[in-house]
Structure 1
Amino acid sequence: MANIEFFDRTMLEAMSLLAESRRYLTDKAEAESQKMDLEQGLANSMETMRLVARLTQVLAWLLTHRAVHAGEMSIAEATVPDRRLGGRDLCAKDSSDAAKTLPDELQSLLSRSHSLYLRIARLDDQATARAEINTKVSGGPRPQ
């Protein structure tokens, strides 16, 4: 039961962060980016894309594992390479130093999305390890 409660809280956190990011991007980001010089504007665009990529990857992973919790998919199916948390090269990178010149609200969103992404990355690694152990115990091949 605690596992489901943790999962539900994490899903709510991700959805809340997504809604907050959407509000920021639709209400403030354009006006703030117009005040930036070219270099800062490029950094702003890159970090905004990183924010969106993190949230997209996290939500896709959470929805997949919601299906596991609901019994609609096995852990082995959920941990095939195409369903694992993606974008690690881009999303796991700590860009807080590069983002120091960006608006405070964007810095906050980036920091929180990075923390959430790293948490989900650890869960993804744990789920994959668990699936591999289950496969070895059952003796069957892992679905691809």
Structure 2
Amino acid sequence: MITAKRVETEKEREDAFLIRQKVFVQEQDVPVDLELDEHDQSAIHFVAYDGEEPIGAGRIRVPEPGISKVERVCILSQYRGKHLGNLMMEKMEFYAKEAGLKTVKLNAQSYAIPFYEKLHYKITSPEFLDAGIPHRAMQKEL
């Protein structure tokens, strides 16, 4: 059974970091010192599982009052196209709403813009490079 949840234990946190390493560092060649950063200590992390196996991850930060920033959303390649990104975003948006945050911002890799647009995110920036990968800023009001 596939589930997604807010990280509560050190093992779940390690599982989320493992997925981020596989997707961003190994698959997309993002330098590890850019992928794991100073925000990991204060961010709220989320992880998806297929049974006991971690398959997805993401995090939320609160960079300013009322604003949440969704970051590091990723799903293992063999699980893509199965709506798990929707499940992760649903869990993170629910957390943001429950925390009283009104706006969700994110920096989407350009290829993923259609995914976020289906979730009602709007583009708010021109394209820019982050870790050598084209991105656009997006946001949604909750």
Q: TM-score, normalised by structure 2?
A: 0.30
More helix by share: 1
Higher relative contact order (CA 8 A, sep 6+): 1
Q: TM-score, normalised by structure 1?
A: 0.29
More strand by share: 2
The structure that has the greater radius of gyration is 1
